Structure 1
Amino acid sequence: MKRLLSFLIPVLLSTTAFTQSLPIKLDEYFTIAGRIGRFNGSVLVARGDTILFHKAYGWRDLARQVPNDTNSVFQLGSITKTFTGAVILQLQEEGKVSLKDPLSRYLPGYPSGEKITLEHLLTHRSGIPDFKQALYSKDTSVAQSFSRPVSHDYILSFFRDKPLASEPGSQTHYSNSGYYLLGMVIEKVTGHPFEAEVRRRFLTPLQMRSSGFDFRNLRIPGRTTGYTMQRDTVMVPIAPLDSSAAYAAGGMYSTTGDLFRWATAVRRNLLLRPETWEEALSGHPEWGYGWGVSEVNGDKLAYQNGNLPGYGTFFVYIPKQNLTIILLSNIDDASYLSDPDPVLATVAKMAYGGPYQLPKRRRAVSPDLLNAYAGKYQLGKDKVVSVTVKGGNLLLDVPGQPTYHLFAESTTDFFLEEANISFTFHRDETGKVSRMTVHQNGDTEATRL
């Protein structure tokens, strides 16, 4: 899960909007993205009760040449947290818990449990270290252990006795561990498995029949194979995590269609009181109760995104626009090519009628060539931009903006994923890189300093 989303990325110069209808734009974008490996999964975009776009791209099972469709089933990762938060809030409405309760009331003996509240766990302000890195352990025996059922005690061993990152309530530190503990609290309060409570309280009432937890043992045609990208070109299958590993922090599976039923519940204030939903989707201060909270064009945005080995997912709801965006991919974000963030940013730009760029095929270039382009460039009278190399990637730093990744289209031409901007590097008569041209609504020259 990333902390914030920057959908409408600031650009170097002004841009103009496209005028195509949204479904046509989306299909054009995702058709190209699917062809070059930029997106592999299912996408749904809706305004209110109206589904504007719902299609799937790429492969459900590459080896068997089975394509994805809108019934494809994906592991969700952190989208699970929206359900975990909702169960806790429903229990509070029933008078069985309070968000101000200390963790020690439900899990006696947990270190610092008397200082950590349920609200701290929900809003990532408990200070409890995140256990997620264990899922990617270089210790093969540890990494492989998560592909079969694991106990609570086993998962707790990765974070229970580690020192807090900060005093509870004082700082925000994103922590899957906090949501894992919330699942245990739910079991303690209800006397039932966490998974059973989610199903009884939400999945069954909303008729989310293609959603659940035990993905590893799921035996239905729509079950996807998860992949990671190697060298931005090769889809390598990955064994799925057992749902007991990610549990209340990320153990669910679903489809885009089922998640639209969940979006309907959120939008219509179903199964929780309206004031409770309002609290869930508000920042406290940076995170809601199961949701990330940000802004796009001044509009409040609630979201969750999941990142598990083999899967990358996004669920976005913008109340003012009555807009829902759901992206489920069976390729993880280990590669720049398969990172879902720029894809989501593009969909948001389209929905707002803003400028966007169609996906381009990337080319590998040598480290020596990248290093030759590194330096500072004078763009206009009072703006200096920096081009740097890090981890074999060419990066662009613009004052007051995030760092952008420049992708190679040729040995001299590079482009941004976030906006319709490209760059050409030029050499002087001695062979030294002397300037770059910024292509955006015309050409602007930037001299190397």
Structure 2
Amino acid sequence: KYEYSNFGMGLLGHILSFSARMSYDDLVKTRILEPLKMNETTITLSPVLKSRMAQGFDQNGEPISNWDFLTFQGAGALRSTAKDMAKFVAANAGLSKSDLAGAFAEAHQARRDAGGRMKIGLAWHILSDASGDIVWHNGGTGGFRSFAGFNQLQKRGIVLLTNTAESVDDIGFHFLDASIPLKKIKPFVAVNEKILDEYAGIYQFAPSVFFTITRRVDKLFAQLTGQSSLRVFAETENEFYYKVVSAKLTFNRGEGGKIESLTLHQNGDQIAKKIK
């Protein structure tokens, strides 16, 4: 049975470095980075690379600190650039010559079924496709997401790095096979901060269930009792939607023009009265 484990990848990295009697950082540099001349890929950043480190942002568009892996570094401790990762993908895809070609080819061999048209090689996922197998992997750490993939038959490869928690997988797959659709991006509009302040407050669904609405500069956040605070995006002046779940909020005004309640549109409509 296929199960992908980040913990398992971290443990594997630890075992390999222990066996080689060197740090994971040095092991990867010696075996992969130096042969491919990937000079901007490392775990420990130099002052120059540190000055170029992008700020990461969470799913709400808020700044978030990046993750530092002190142990199990094989799970995602390396920092890199698009230019360096392009070298890695080109070498894997056979678009550039490398002494590692044999090892890369071995890693691309399917080992297990992963459901549907997907199989798993040595860390690489393989999507069976009419235009040629798409070999790919993605990743995410605090405030960052990545996608790398290639189609050897089509001689195409792509690297996507973003400093947000939003997935870019659909862009990568669409580039490698245009028949794979891009996800639909819902537009959102700007709402005057004074109006957002009118929405801010506490709304009651039940005796112990509340919606807390807050404004942070020009953004609106909603928090249901016992859940995380999530950003909601304005579809119209009084209608907002979530990106992370399939739900909407509508703010309702009374006869005097004041906000009296909100309606949660999720598995039906539920009204919460504004109490504060």
Q: TM-score, length-normalised on structure 2?
A: 0.59
74, 88, 92: which one pairs with 1:248? 74
In structure 2, runs of 5+ residues without a counterpart are 113-118, 192-223, 225-232, 242-276
Distance 2:47 2:68 in 1: 9
> Does 1:257 pair with 2:87?
no
CA offset at residue 271 of structure 1?
2.9
Q: Name whichever structure is richer in strand by fraction.
A: 2
166, 169, 179: which one pairs with 1:341? 169
AA of the residue aligned to 1:177: F
Distance 1:344 1:264 in 2: 15
Q: Name the counterpart of 2:149.
A: 316
User: Per chain length, whose mean CA-contact separation is higher, i.e. which structure has more relative contact order (CA < 8 Å, sep 6+)?
Assistant: 1
Distance 1:210 1:302 in 2: 23
Distance 1:177 1:357 in 2: 29
Q: Name the counterpart of 2:38.
A: 208
AA of the residue aligned to 2:108: L
Alignment of 1:20-59 (within 5 A): none
Alignment partner of 2:2: what SS? coil
Distance 1:303 1:322 in 2: 14
> Does 1:290 pair with 2:138?
no
CA offset at residue 237 of structure 1?
1.2
Distance 1:283 1:199 in 2: 26
Distance 2:4 2:133 in 1: 20
Q: Name the counterpart of 2:105.
A: 278
RMSD: 3.4
218, 227, 231: which one pairs with 2:57? 227
CA offset at residue 172 of structure 1?
1.5
Q: TM-score, length-normalised on structure 1?
A: 0.38
CA offset at residue 296 of structure 1?
3.3
Alignment partner of 1:187: what SS? helix
Distance 2:46 2:40 in 1: 14
CA offset at residue 277 of structure 1?
2.8
Distance 1:343 1:359 in 2: 12
Alignment partner of 2:74: what SS? helix
| Shift in alpha-carbon separation, 1:266–1:357, aligned structure 2, 3 A | closer
CA offset at residue 207 of structure 1?
1.6
Distance 1:324 1:191 in 2: 34
Distance 1:201 1:361 in 2: 45
> Does 1:266 pair with 2:99?
no
Q: Name the counterpart of 2:5.
A: 175
Asked whether the 8 Å contact 1:303–1:315 carries over to 2, the reply is: yes
Alignment partner of 2:29: what SS? helix
Query: 1:259-282: per-residue Cα shift (whole Å, max 9, x none)?
Result: 1111222133623353x4333112
Alignment of 1:389-400 (within 5 A): none
CA offset at residue 184 of structure 1?
1.9
Alignment of 1:348-387 (within 5 A): 348-349=176-177, 352=178, 359-362=185-188
